[in-house]
């Protein structure tokens, strides 16, 4: 880690802390994630989900993991630096995004997800905090600590993802969910981009299902039989609600956007489009140039600032050296005048390849030629090294020989079966997108297992029966 200088702390969480750093060699800004848990072997580090998934993912909309370093039993992930996350971008807005901006952000999210799913992984924790940005022009998916392989065998843990973006099948404790849970989260994020407020801000799992029913309406048994089986298994009865049309909640969305969000927010995961199918919806077929720009001005500024400072300092040194040499030459040979010499300009340094698009912590996009070397006892690296040694990650796992590229600073659980905190603390201050007079908790005088027909409105709250 002596090749990086830490500048400031960006965040701190249960499993690690994130710092902004700068490479001493290139001046490139990076995000360094230091895990709080200690790791006593290199194999233990390379088997982490975050590392295993990011080694295989190389995409413009997936955050880039540049290096993995184990030093004195501490594990460090070095990521591309990203300016902010999508939640921060929305929080700082004074007015709503234009639909063209929302379309481009949604397109990039779906492009990244399509690539991730195509390569056999699903994210399991899609939310605005895990989408890193350099302004609205460039968005990358980050934080793969909860990622799983699609081909891996169920059961999976039922406690994944932040509650407001959690799919119904996960809320109902399904153990066989898969990549459609990521598409549900995209539908929630897309609605939030239009309104700058969460669509389903439930304060518990039961309340989350109630919020979903208030918008989508009560799901019929014929529409999602598996969901009713899951509800029966946990003695839960769906609340009886009339659907609210998305257009009334999101009036600034076009009809094409409403169509896409409705399909992404299907109760039945089998009816949701895949990421690749969603990209072919009419919403994206409008002649607009979509995707990350080749290199935005914001990225160029971040990249060129340290290099320009370095070149300026070298130029001053060369000027001083040339001046001193000229004085010495004049003193030693006054009678032999030399022709004027042009002061040599500093050579343009080759820019490091890691900053094509500034990114942030939590994922991986490694360019070709990536290898691992043993630097000295107690220190191991995986990432951008010139020469391979006998300690390369290819030897420890010969079945995985591809590298990955792309992401932001954020904290995610990288341990095997742990999941993030249920609440999203950053969103606690936000007001819900809509409000209803219907209560979500039963009064004390109502017995469990019974329905109260006197409740107001068209919604009859179902009780959650517990086995005594």
Which residues line the annotated binding site for ATP?
Answer: 33
Residues linked to residue 71 through DSSP beta bridges, in sequence order: 74, 379
- What is the rounded distance in angstroms from the CA atom of residue 9 to the CA atom of residue 37? 18
Tokens 């009678």 identify what position?
Answer: 335
Element (H, E) at 246: helix 246-249
CA 11, chain centre distance (Å): 15
How far is the C-alpha of 76 from the C-alpha of 67, rounded, in Å?
Answer: 8
Residue 198's alpha-carbon distances to 39, 168, 253, 324, 426, in angstroms, are 38, 16, 15, 65, 12
Nearest to 282 by CA among 258, 309, 247, 299: 258
Contact (CB, 8 A) for 275 and 190: no
Active-site residue, selected from the candidate residues 125, 263, 422, 452: 125
d(CA 219, CA 275): 24
Active site residue 182: no
What DSSP string runs through 86-128? Answer: HHHHHHT-SSPPPHHHHHHHHHHHHHHHHHHHHTTEE-S--SG
- Type and span of the H or E element at 312: helix 297-332
Which residues are identified as catalytic?
125
């Amino acid at each position: 880690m002596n090749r990086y200088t830490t500048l400031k702390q960006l965040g701190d969480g249960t499993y690690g802390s994130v710092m902004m750093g700068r490479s001493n060699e290139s001046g490139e800004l990076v995000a360094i994630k230091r895990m709080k848990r200690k790791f006593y072997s290199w194999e233990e580090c390379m088997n982490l989900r975050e590392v295993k998934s990011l080694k295989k993912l190389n995409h413009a909309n997936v955050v880039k993991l540049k290096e993995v370093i184990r030093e004195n039993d501490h594990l460090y992930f070095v990521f591309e630096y990203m300016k902010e996350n999508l939640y921060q971008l929305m929080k700082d807005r004074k007015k709503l995004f234009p639909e063209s901006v929302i379309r481009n952000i949604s397109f990039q999210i779906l492009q990244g997800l399509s690539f991730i799913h195509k390569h056999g992984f699903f994210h399991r924790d899609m939310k605005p905090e895990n989408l890193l940005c350099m302004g609205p022009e460039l968005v990358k998916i980050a934080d793969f600590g909860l990622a799983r392989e699609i081909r891996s065998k169920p059961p999976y843990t039922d406690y994944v993802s932040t509650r407001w973006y959690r799919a119904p099948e996960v809320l109902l404790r399904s153990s066989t969910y898969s990549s459609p849970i990521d598409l549900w989260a995209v539908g929630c994020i897309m609605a939030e981009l239009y309104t700058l407020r969460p669509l389903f801000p439930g304060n518990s799992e039961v309340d989350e299902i109630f919020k979903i029913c208030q918008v989508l309406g009560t799901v019929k048994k014929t529409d999602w039989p598996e969901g009713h089986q899951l509800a029966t298994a946990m003695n839960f009865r769906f609340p009886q609600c009339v659907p609210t049309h998305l257009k009334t909640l999101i009036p600034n969305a076009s009809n094409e956007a409403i169509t896409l969000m409705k399909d992404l927010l299907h109760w039945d995961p089998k009816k949701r489009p895949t990421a690749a199918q969603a990209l072919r919806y009419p919403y994206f077929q409008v002649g607009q140039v979509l995707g990350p720009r080749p290199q935005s001005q914001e990225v160029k500024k971040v990249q060129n600032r340290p290099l320009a400072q370095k070149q300026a300092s070298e130029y001053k040194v060369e000027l001083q050296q040339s001046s001193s040499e000229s004085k010495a030459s004049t003193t030693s040979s006054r009678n032999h005048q030399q022709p004027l010499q042009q002061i040599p300009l500093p050579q343009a340094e080759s820019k490091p390849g890691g900053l094509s698009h500034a990114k942030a912590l939590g994922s991986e996009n490694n360019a070709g030629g990536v290898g691992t070397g043993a630097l000295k006892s107690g220190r191991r690296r995986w990432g951008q090294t010139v020469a391979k040694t006998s300690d390369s990650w290819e030897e420890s796992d010969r079945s995985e020989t591809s590298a990955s590229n792309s992401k932001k600073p954020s904290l995610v659980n990288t341990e095997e079966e742990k999941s993030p905190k249920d609440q999203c603390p950053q969103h606690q201050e936000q007001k819900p997108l809509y409000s209803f007079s219907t209560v979500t908790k039963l009064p004390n005088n109502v017995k469990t297992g019974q329905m109260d027909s006197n409740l107001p409105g068209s919604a009859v709250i179902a009780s959650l029966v517990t086995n005594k």
